[in-house]
Amino acid sequence: MKSFYTIQVLYDELVTELSLKWNGEGGGARVYFNPQKQGGKQPAGPLNLIRPSQIQVIGPPEREHLLSGDANGYQERLGALFNTSPVALIFTDGLEPLPECQEWAIKNGTALFHTQQSDNHVINRLLERFSQPMEEKLLVHGVYMEVLGKGVLLSGNPAIGKSELALDLISRGHRLIADDATELYKTGSSTVNGRCPKVLQDFLEVRGLGLINIRAMFGNSAIKPNKQLHLIIDLLHFDDKKLHDMDRLEGCHSYRTLLGVEVPQTSLPVAAGRNLAILVETAVRQHLLMLDGYNATSDFIDRQQIYIDQE
């Protein structure tokens, strides 16, 4: 198991999930969760000046403690806090660091974050993250997109049209994470995230057009650094027999196991005249409805049975 990470890695992995805002972008190269260099400190915990964690989380009670007393006392407590050499401070529950705290952070090279989420949730999520080995990674072939706010892996044989489909989705306002090669990694016992290898970031290969820089062409909003994997869309060439045998009510839904986590998968037949971008959007919406407990097939069957009973 890798024994150290950097603050930039932390931010890239959890920025969306924890709604993190970075004050000043400083301290990104600092190392955390390295017991050999951190004197056995815990990786994360609530503000504690006696037994400090590497990442100190400051919620309403901790901020009240820092601000108690006069201005001199506040400065003394800030000095004591930064003398513990935290690699990052995270203000939670909608709190934001005061200017004096930002000054100390800049002087000490400490990353400073704030979020609307609760202190307990942030601490529990960080501790869960650090319990997962960084080596639990998997490189998969496919295009990784954020569609309607969900991480969607487009898989299928080479030349089936994954990149063209991605380009269509990007033009419809969705975001590219990775083309051709997607690096998956565990962020919890039942969650898998995906990101793009650095050498491939921002690029999409489209046959006939060559390499396209999506960021340069569509802007920063068309790129997403990473995202939790929610759904796999498997593109398949179906012959007439397979199309005939397909369950037209239920569709083709299954699960694929990646890094020990079962991920929902929908198979879509590729054929001339099928608008795959709309089908992918619909598959994501269908997945969201299923998560809420709604199944269109069951609804249809129940409606038909009521009609039959009335007749």
Contact 226, 195 (CB under 8 A): yes
Q: Please list the active-site residues.
A: 141, 162, 180, 248
Q: Would you tell me how many other CB atoms lie within 10 Å of the CB of residue 170?
A: 20
Structural domain spans, the chain = 5-130, 137-298
Q: What is the DSSP letter of 205?
A: E
- CA 128 – CA 223 distance, rounded (Å): 27
User: Where is 170: in which H helix or E strand?
Assistant: helix 162-171
Single out the residue of 80, 78, 11, 86 nearest to residue 42, CA to CA: 86
5-130: CATH class: alpha beta
Domain over 137-298 is classified CATH 3.30.360.10: no
Residue 294, judged by CB atoms within 10 A of its CB (0-12, 13-18, 19+), counts as exposed
Task: Please give the chain's pLDDT, 311 residues, in tens.
Answer: 455 667 887 888 788 889 999 987 666 667 665 544 455 578 889 998 888 888 999 999 999 888 887 778 888 889 999 998 888 999 999 998 888 898 899 888 899 999 999 999 999 888 877 766 555 789 999 999 999 999 999 999 988 999 999 999 999 999 999 998 999 988 777 889 999 988 899 999 998 899 999 999 999 999 999 999 999 999 998 777 776 677 777 778 899 999 889 999 999 988 878 899 999 999 999 999 999 999 898 898 899 999 898 87
Q: Would you tell me how many other CB atoms lie within 10 Å of the CB of residue 242?
A: 13
- CA 276 – CA 134 distance, rounded (Å): 35
- CA 102 – CA 118 distance, rounded (Å): 21
- pTM (whole model) above 0.85: no
